Chains A and B, each alone.
Chain A
Amino acid sequence: MPKITYVAVDGTEQAIEVPTGTSVMRGAVFNDIDGIVAQCGGNAQCATCHVYVDETTLDKLEPMESNEDGMLDFTACPRRPNSRLSCQLEVTGALDGLIVHLPERQN
């Protein structure tokens, strides 16, 4: 299973094996990683699953769709060039080794 590393605001890292076909958001929520709210349940409608993708692993991701791009303007913490909505990141083999940083808050 692809391994994804979630880095908390205090720097704590948790590497989780996340099944393919699910999302980076669900990988966190279903493995007791706090810091992702995902209020809308994974539909790119609330921007509460915001993550900063580690620059060294940005190339593992597909480009975002326009709905994710639009929603990223509504994140609680500032949007940066490496901002993504984790619910829109479908876990595939290509994501193995992905590192995401959790923002200070989601709402």
Chain B
Amino acid sequence: MTAGAPVSSVVIVGAGQAGYQTAASLRERGHAGRITLISAEDALPYERPPLSKAYLKGEADETRLWLRPVTYYVRQSIDLVGGTVTGIDRDARRVRLADGSAYDYDHLVLATGARPRTLDVPGVGLRGVHTLRTAQEAAALRSALAAARHAVVVGAGFVGLEFAAVARESGCEVTVVEALDRPLARVVSARTAEHFTRLHRGAGTQLLFGQGVTALHGNSRGT
């Protein structure tokens, strides 16, 4: 940084892996200005991959998901802010949060990530219909699994299959519905997909390929 140059302030929206790593790398490379990391979740930055595995099974608590302990952010002067960004004023270089607070920036990083696509079919609002993205959603799924006897998974990607494996292990009858002709089509070869199809079927999970979901129906138990 040039001597005498004003120290710039960075606001990062989204405190997942990318948001956290941006903040950490900025400090590692010597950025001295203010860093504000804004998270819509009331949690320290954490890893998502275990949510469909160890965390779902109850083998890891929330602290095991954390990327760093809280002391790290204090030591590195990374300001963690909980809240949802509702507006960006590019002229004033300022983000506004739902609670009315605002943060000025010289550089703004949008690291908001993805969200699960919900289905545009009747019944998506029924009780017992879950999505899996956050630790909170994983915790809700974990409690639901404890009492569930049947589980239907829409989508045979990594997350869907990992959930299916955990659900099957916990004694559920599991059906996976996949729109394409094989699992993991976006990420692995047909041969590898075939291996995982056999593995899941061998565990007693039903896999349906080339099938879409047209509606979700409730049952007598109110789900």
Contacting pair B67 A30 (CB below 8 A):
no
Q: Which A residues are in CB contact (< 8 Å) with B71? A: 32
- Distance in Å: Cβ of A24 to nearest Cβ of chain B: 16
The answer on a CB contact under 8 Å between B69 and A30 is: yes
Does any Cβ of A come within 8 Å of B49's Cβ? yes
Contact partner of A41 among B24, B47, B69, CB < 8 A? Answer: B47
A32 and B49 contact, Cβ closer than 8 Å, known pairs A39-B21, A41-B67: no
Interface residues of B in 20-46 (CB under 8 A from A): 21, 24, 28
A29 interface residue, CB < 8 Å from B? yes
Q: Indicate whether B158 reaches chain A with its CB closer than 8 angstroms.
A: no
Q: Is B209 at the interface (CB under 8 A from chain A)? A: no
Q: Is the CB of A41 within 8 A of B21?
A: no
Taking CB atoms, residues of chain A closer than 8 Å to B72 are: 29, 32
Q: Is the interface of A mostly helix, strand, loop or mixed?
A: loop
Cβ distance B157 to chain A, nearest Cβ, rounded Å:
18
Residues of A within 8 A of B17 (CB): 41
Q: How far is the CB of A53 from chain B (nearest CB, A)?
A: 24
**B71, closest chain A residue (CB):** A32
In the assembly, what is the distance between CA of A30 and CA of B49, in Å? 19
Q: Are B21 and A32 in contact (CB under 8 A)?
A: no
The answer to whether the Cβ of B75 comes within 8 Å of any Cβ in the partner chain is yes
The answer to whether A29 and B21 touch across the interface, beta carbons within 8 angstroms, is no
Interface residues of A (CB under 8 A from B): 29-30, 32, 37, 39, 41, 43
For the complex, what is the distance from the CA of A39 to the CA of B24, rounded to whole Å? 10
Q: Decide yes or no whether B150 CB sits under 8 A from chain A.
A: no
A32 and B69 contacting across the interface, CB-CB below 8 Å: yes
Residue of B with least CB distance to A34? B75
Chain A proximity of B73: nearest CB distance (Å): 11
Contacts of B69 in A (CB 8 A): 29-30, 32
- Check A41 against B49 for contact (C-beta < 8 Å): yes
Q: Does B198 contact A (CB under 8 A)?
A: no
Q: What separation, in Å, do the CA atoms of A30 and B17 have in the docked complex?
A: 17
A-B contacts, 6 of them at CB < 8 A, read A30-B68, A30-B69, A32-B69, A37-B28, A41-B47, A41-B49
Q: In whole Å, how far is A99's beta carbon from the nearest beta carbon of chain B?
A: 23
A29 B68 Cβ-Cβ under 8 A: yes
Q: Give 1 or 0 for each of B49-80: 1 = CB within 8 Å of chain A CB.
A: 10000000000000000011101100100000
Q: How far is the CA of A37 from the CA of B67 in the complex (A)?
A: 10
Give Cα distance in the complex from A32 to B28, angstroms.
Answer: 14
Q: Give B46 Cβ to nearest chain A Cβ, in Å.
A: 10
Contacts of A37 in B (CB 8 A): 24, 28
Inside 8 A of B24's CB, which chain A residues have their CB?
37
In the complex, what distance in Å separates the CA atom of A29 from the CA atom of B28? 14
Q: What CA separation (Å) do A41 and B51 show in the bound complex?
A: 13
13 extra interface residue pairs, beta carbon distance < 8 Å, beyond A29-B68, A37-B28, A41-B49:
A29-B69, A29-B72, A30-B69, A32-B69, A32-B71, A32-B72, A32-B75, A37-B24, A39-B21, A41-B17, A41-B47, A41-B67, A43-B49
